Chain A
Amino acid sequence: MGETALKTNGVNFAKASSAALQDQQLRGNFRRAMDGLMSKRAVQFADTAEWNGVRALGTSVRLRALSKLPELLEKLEANCTRNGIQVHWASTTDEANAIVLSIMQRVNAKLVVKGKSMVSEEMHLNAFLEKHGIESLESDLGEYIVQLDEAMPSHIIMPAIHMNTKQIAHLFKQKIKEAEYTEDVAQLTDLARRVLRKKFATADVGISGVNMAVAETGTLCLVENEGNGRMSTTVPPVHIAVMGLEKVVEKLEDVPPVISLLTRSATAQPITTYVNMISSPRKEGEKDGPNEIHLVILDNGRSGIYADEELRNTLRCIRCGACMNHCPVYTKVGGHAYQAPYPGPIGSILMPQVEGLEKRGELPHACTMCNACVEICPVKIPIVEIMGRLRSEAVHPGDAVKGAGSHASKAEAMVWKGWSMTYASPLAYQFATALLAKLGNAAPTSLPLLKEWTNVRSKPRFATRTLHALAREKGIPDV
């Protein structure tokens, strides 16, 4: 409420979303895309009993993994190391970037190809590498488009979902030398493929994300549809995988239900075209695969989130993006309005915890609490409950979340205090409501809040008599 709470440090969701709302093309792109994704997902989970079953199974896998996270991470490190995968720990994105850079510098890398990785977005790795004279090329088609456009992903699964074919056709014509203008999707894809193929062959290092890391076997799982993930992780002599520390699961048998939930929720596919299970670098006598594999495990605030029993549920996330597809706010404003690597509902609870409420305290309010995300979340994250918790943390000083209390406003606190005193006392409440019934309609629409409300709506009309008064008049018993 009011201006105070809307103040932010550099990141302004309200302003960015306002601009997005004016862009009819953008709104159309998102509406069409999200409608399609929702209906396709619904087909995948048409059997309610099966959905309930696999959802319960996937949720229990994630809960079990989180319940013994420290132990599983140690096990993962031990088993990866045994397999020849070198494990690095990074408590901040700066540390993670430095680790990646030191590996690159050791092998004198000039060109990196990247499979899709949200953690690398969180690290702003491309910009970092560029600053150090290393070319970092996105090889996922959507990420490639976004990189050509010098933009940010607008969705965690479909980074270029904000663009339509025409816009991509223009972009390719403008940015790729050999491109001829075409709106034919197959030709556009083919063009990107030709550009990328050459790069795969010459890249010094491949970087990828990790969908799941299996503690008991030391296996990195990576799902993808374009083969670019496999190319990035097998063709260059060095593979660096980056993952958030919550991505670990206990056993190999935990993988199938989570993949099934992930791919069906994300892209409505029973399984992706490629499922990569990476267990070691190239062994003697093997004909392909990288000589070195590095796993960078990033904390970046996650252990703080883990420490709080309620907030910990944020870390269940398997990054399917279904919450965005079903979010009526995200659908309206698109991913860029959030100005964050993770937009939509999961971003609105994750970003404030990772970067602090001071900077991201507005995001938990980018939500009508409609629960559409909660209804479809494949691992049952209580997103809206966490949203409410973060709203509370933002206005009350405390230790649980970085920047707690940074949005506290004396005026707002007084309003709620006054409200609670009035509403908790029958006498005060009936006096106040009777007064509003008499005088409320005289309030001018220029008043704050009423002004915002009446922008597109008529003024709400106070009834001349309250329900309390009517009930008394009609003789409805009180006890």
Chain B
Amino acid sequence: MTHDGTISRPESVYFFGTCLVDLFYPEAGMAGMELLKAQGIRVVFPQGQSCCGQPAYNSGYREEALKVARAQLDYFPGDWPIVVPSGSCAGMMKKHWPDLFKGEPDEARACQVASRVWELTQFLVQVLNVTFEDQGPPVKITWHASCHAQREMGVTDEPKALLRQLANVELVELQREKECCGFGGTFAVRHPEISAAMVGDKVADIENTGAKAVVSGDCGCLMNISGALEGGKKPVRGVHIAQFLKERTHG
């Protein structure tokens, strides 16, 4: 890795699938790995991985979060980048692991692993400089930016730049693109009414664009937004950006 955090194109990468993708959106995870493989990169998916620890960390159970985060360290021994199809989980690893492991005997090791973490679209754009050729029919879509991708990983333009490469895809931006969808992990069930009001506003914003699909890079947001779209019987589909890109480019 060079001083400014950019790296040259690696031969291999690790893929950290995240627990939400594992259980609910495995097709998004597979699509992410296939996009990387299509660029000639060897993708390694360590079978021992589970979760970054964020659910417990954000609920105030730091010891439990540490136990789970620590269990991940063994599975990413090589010096390869770790690509994550979620800004939120990537943010937990990159930004919060150093705090979580502070003063622990394996602090240095955790920080070393954290420093190799990339959000998927960030990696595709900044490291691989990918170009996509659109194979799909014309469609109007919108983009929902995840809070942690934007504000923890600093990923704002990369996903939209990828979507804009697609010739037949019209990207209509949300009026309140940067506003939280109301997921917030346990927030959605601790404060279900506020969360419902927030996702209600998000759905209205999406509907106003006239888009047929809302694309996002985080499965937490997607579960919330797609759930509300479905719950409200809205004819808009929620889809992870990895899956959308794969559909558009591999037929």
Contacts and interface: CB of A to CB of B under 8 A. Distances in A.
Interface of A: 1, 5-6, 14, 17-18, 21, 27, 328-329, 332-333, 365-372, 374-375, 385, 388, 390-396, 413, 416-417, 419-421, 423-426, 429-430, 433, 436-437, 440, 449, 452-463, 465-472, 474, 476-479
B84 to A, nearest CB: 12
Nearest to B63: A420
Given A370-B180, A372-B151, A470-B26, A424 B44 contact: no
Q: Which of B58, B178, B198 has the most CB of A within 10 A?
A: B58
Contact of B60 (A396, A468, A476, A479): A396
Interface in B47-76: 47-51, 53, 55-65, 67-68, 70-71
Contacts of A457: 199, 224, 227-228, 230-231
Given A372-B179, A470-B30, A471-B30, 12 more contacts: A1-B59, A329-B194, A366-B194, A391-B58, A413-B61, A419-B68, A452-B192, A460-B24, A462-B24, A463-B24, A478-B44, A479-B44
Interface of B: 15, 17, 19, 21-27, 29-30, 33, 42-51, 53, 55-65, 67-68, 70-71, 99, 147-148, 151-152, 178-180, 182-201, 223-224, 226-228, 230-232
A462 B20 CA distance: 10
Nearest to A456: B196
B185 A453 contact: no
A476 B59 CA distance: 33
Contacts of A468: 17, 22, 45, 47
B22 A466 contact: yes
B180 A368 contact: yes
Given A14-B191, A328-B198, A365-B190, A466 B23 contact: yes
A17 B198 CA distance: 13
Interface of B is mostly: helix
11 contacts: A21-B193, A332-B194, A365-B187, A366-B194, A368-B184, A426-B48, A453-B189, A455-B196, A463-B27, A471-B45, A477-B42
Contacts of B186: 1, 365
Given A329-B194, A463-B24, A1 B64 contact: no
A420 B68 contact: yes
Contacts, number: 206
Contacts of B152: 371
B151 A478 contact: no
A433 B58 contact: no
Contacts of B63: 420
A478 B57 CA distance: 27
Contacts of B26: 463, 465-467, 469-470
Nearest to A373: B151
A367 B195 CA distance: 10
A436 B22 CA distance: 11
Contacts of B67: 420-421, 424
A416 B184 contact: no
A375 B24 contact: no
A73 B50 CA distance: 51
Contacts of A470: 26, 29-30
A474 B26 CA distance: 12
A455 B192 CA distance: 8
A68 B189 CA distance: 43
A448 to B, nearest CB: 8
Contacts of A424: 50, 67-68, 70-71
A5 B184 CA distance: 17
Nearest to A455: B192
Shortest 7 CB-CB contacts between residues of A and residues of B: A368-B184, A457-B227, A391-B60, A420-B64, A370-B180, A370-B147, A458-B230
Contact of B151 (A1, A370, A425): A370
Given A333-B194, A470-B29, A478-B46, A453 B60 contact: no
B151 A375 contact: yes
B228 A423 contact: no
Contacts of A333: 194
A37 to B, nearest CB: 14
A161 B103 CA distance: 45
A18 B193 contact: yes
A423 B223 contact: no
A41 B21 CA distance: 37
Nearest to B48: A426
B25 A463 contact: yes
B23 A456 contact: no
A9 B161 CA distance: 50
A298 to B, nearest CB: 29
A396 B29 CA distance: 36
Given A395-B61, A423-B68, A436-B23, A369 B185 contact: yes
B147 A21 contact: no
Contact of A17 (B184, B194, B228, B230): B194
Given A17-B194, A455-B196, A461-B24, A368 B187 contact: yes
A368 B48 CA distance: 30
Given A368-B184, A392-B62, A416-B56, A374 B151 contact: yes
A471 B186 CA distance: 29
Contacts of B179: 328, 372
Contacts of B223: 460
Contacts of B30: 467, 470-471, 474
B48 A477 contact: no
A417 B61 CA distance: 9
A282 B224 CA distance: 62
A235 B109 CA distance: 65
Q: Which of B19, B23, B184, B189 has the most CB of A within 10 A?
A: B23
A367 B201 CA distance: 17
Nearest to B223: A460
A336 B10 CA distance: 53
Nearest to A424: B71
Contacts of A368: 147, 180, 182-185, 187, 195, 198
A395 B50 CA distance: 25
Contacts of B228: 456-457
Contact of B45 (A430, A463, A476): A476
Nearest to B91: A371
B73 to A, nearest CB: 11
Given A457-B224, A466-B23, A425 B58 contact: no
A14 B199 CA distance: 17
